C-alpha cells in the first residue's frame, strides 16, 4: 500500500484491473448463477414494498429467469458483456436491480464479501492454469 501510494500510476492501473475483474465476475454470475432459485415462507403477515403478504405464503425468486429476462437486461441478455456493469450493478439493468447471485437483504450470503474482495486470486488462478496448459503443450 505504501509503495502504491508512491506510484499513483500503478495504483490507478491496479484499481482499473479490480473494477474490470468485478465486472467479469458479475457477468459470469448473472449468466450462470450457482444458486438458480430462492424460496421463502411467510410465517406471519408481512409486506414487500406496497405488496401485502398474509401468513402461510410460499415465495419463489427464480434467479436464473430474472438474470436472463430481456426486460430488465435488454435484447443482448444472452450475450457475455461485462461492460454492462461499467456504471455499477444498480445501473446495469433497467429500472431496478435484477442481479441476485448471493440473495438479498437479511439472509444474504456471508461468502459474498470474501468473493468480491478477492477477485485477484481468481484472476491469478485462471492465469496460472492457462500457463500450465501452455507449458504442457510445449512439452517443457
Ligand atoms: C460464488 C459463490 C457463492 C454464491 C453464488 C452463493 C450464494 C448464496 C445464496 C444465493 C444464498 C442464499 C441467500 C438467501 O437465502 O437469501 C447463500 C447463503 C449462504 N451462503 Fe453463500 N454463496 C457463495 C459462496 C459462499 C461461501 C464461500 C460461503 C462461506 C464462506 C457461503 C456461505 C453462506 C451461508 C452461511 C449462507 C446462509 C446465510 C443465512 O441463511 O443467513 N457462501 N449463498
Which numbered atom of ligand 1 lies nearest the CA of 35? 10
Which numbered atom of ligand 1 lies nearest the CA of 61? 16
Rounded to the nearest 10°, the torsion over CA 65, 68, 74, 76 is -160
Q: Is 30 left (phi over 0), alpha (psi -120 to 50) or beta?
A: alpha
> Mean pLDDT across the stretch 110-114?
82
How many angstroms does the Cα of residue 111 sit away from the middle of ligand 1?
Answer: 6
33 and 82 Cβ atoms separated by less than 8 Å: no
- What is the model's pLDDT at position 91? 94
- What is the model's pLDDT at position 66? 96
- What is the model's pLDDT at position 138? 67
64 and 36 Cβ atoms separated by less than 8 Å: yes
For residue 51, give every residue at least 6 positions away whose Cβ sits within 8 Å of its Cβ, in sequence order, or none: none
- What is the model's pLDDT at position 64? 96
For residue 102, give every residue at least 6 positions away whose Cβ sits within 8 Å of its Cβ, in sequence order, or none: 108, 109, 111, 112, 115
For residue 99, give every residue at least 6 positions away whose Cβ sits within 8 Å of its Cβ, in sequence order, or none: 26, 29, 30, 67, 89, 92, 93
How many angstroms does the Cα of residue 125 sit away from the middle of ligand 1?
Answer: 22
Tell me the pLDDT band of 119, cut-offs 50, 70 and 90.
low
- What is the model's pLDDT at position 42? 93
- What is the model's pLDDT at position 49? 85
pLDDT in tens, 31-73: 999 999 999 999 999 988 899 999 999 999 999 999 999 999 9
73 lines ligand 1 (CB under 6 A): no
Bridge partners, residue 47, by sequence? 52
- What is the model's pLDDT at position 139? 65
Average pLDDT, the chain: 87
Neighbours of 63 (CB within 10 A): 23
97 lines ligand 1 (CB under 6 A): no
How many angstroms does the Cα of residue 6 sit away from the middle of ligand 1?
Answer: 38
Residue that wins the pLDDT comparison between 119 and 36: 36
Amino acid at each position: 500500500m505504501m509503495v502504491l501510494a508512491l506510484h499513483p500510476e500503478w495504483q490507478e492501473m491496479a484499481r482499473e484491473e479490480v473494477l474490470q475483474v468485478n465486472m467479469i465476475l458479475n457477468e459470469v454470475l448473472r449468466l450462470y448463477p450457482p444458486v438458480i432459485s430462492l424460496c421463502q415462507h411467510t410465517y406471519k403477515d408481512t409486506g414487500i414494498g406496497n405488496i401485502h403478504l398474509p401468513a402461510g405464503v410460499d415465495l419463489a425468486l427464480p434467479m436464473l429467469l430474472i438474470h436472463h429476462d430481456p426486460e430488465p437486461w435488454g435484447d443482448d441478455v444472452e450475450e457475455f458483456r461485462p461492460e454492462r456493469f461499467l456504471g455499477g450493478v444498480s445501473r446495469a439493468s433497467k429500472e431496478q436491480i435484477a442481479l441476485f447471485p448471493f440473495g438479498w437483504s437479511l439472509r444474504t450470503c456471508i461468502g459474498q464479501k470474501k468473493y468480491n474482495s478477492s477477485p485477484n486470486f481468481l484472476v491469478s488462478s485462471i492465469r496460472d492454469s492457462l500457463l500450465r496448459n501452455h507449458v504442457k503443450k510445449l512439452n517443457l
